[in-house]
Structure 1
């Protein structure tokens, strides 16, 4: 958190020295100060901040891509005369353990069209998901575990 605040302060200092108060100046200052912090971190050892920021950006792009794909799949199913759905309720075994990890995973699954998180088992090891397109249950579980869950674990560990 300290490095993030340092990055923000350096970006503001960049804006002051450049004499420009626009978003472009702020983003440029943020990028330059991030590069300096990353370089210094490589000299004294990798910091969590310089490792997590690229992961967070990649996570956001992954979620956006999944939203686009699932919206297209649901829209295609709605506009075609033949129903391509094969709905099912699937129990996905979980590797996530903390409340934050489970909540983020369940909300991301619910946010994606065509899927809905229904319930969490009493032992908190299985998340029950209603899937609109679940032709292959094993492939669906692999998709959740290798996609959403792996990235949530990378981001929050």
Structure 2
């Protein structure tokens, strides 16, 4: 069975046994299941890889939540004030992501962030075209997008 699926099953079992079928109970169950899998099956190659992937996944969730909040505040400020700071533009972002899943995860993360929208992937899958609402400095925007791609690739690979 897949290690992630095993961890999710352990989280559900924990939540059912402790009668805490809510987000907090599931998160605690997930963490306990993670520890059980890592300690009991530490020599299994899939578990060794999974042991590294879960902290990276939590790191990405924290990073993405912060980016989401900051982008929401920026757009809300621009909407609520009489002076509009928008400088829209489209940039071509070179991709390091290779698989369809990696490209899709990146494109969705970009589109979920207010002020940016993934438009298209080049036919040879090496460039992602992104509409940016605040394109003040193309280099800074590109660095932010690259940082997001790096975080996603660390989780996926």
TM-score bracket for this pair, using the shorter chain length:
0.7 to 0.9
Partner of 2:20: 22
Any idea what the Cα deviations from partners look like across 1:89-146, whole Å, max 9, x if unmatched?
Answer: 1111110011111111111111111001111112211111110011111111111002
Return 5+ residue gaps in structure 1 as ranges. Answer: none
Partner of 2:141: 140
Distance, in Å, in 2 between the alignment partners of 1:5 and 1:62 is 24
For this pair of structures, how many residues does the alignment match? 154
Root-mean-square deviation over aligned CA pairs:
2.5
Q: Which has the larger radius of gyration?
A: 1
Partner of 1:104: 105
Pair 13,96 (structure 1): closer, same or farther in 2 beyond 3 Å: closer
Give the 5 Å matches for 1:1-157. 1-8=1-8, 20-23=18-21, 28-40=28-40, 42=42, 47-146=48-147, 148-157=148-157
Q: In the TM superposition, what is the alpha-carbon distance from 1:33 to its structure 2 partner?
A: 3.7
TM-score between both structures, scaled by the size of structure 2 = 0.82
Q: In the TM superposition, what is the alpha-carbon distance from 1:13 to its structure 2 partner?
A: 6.4
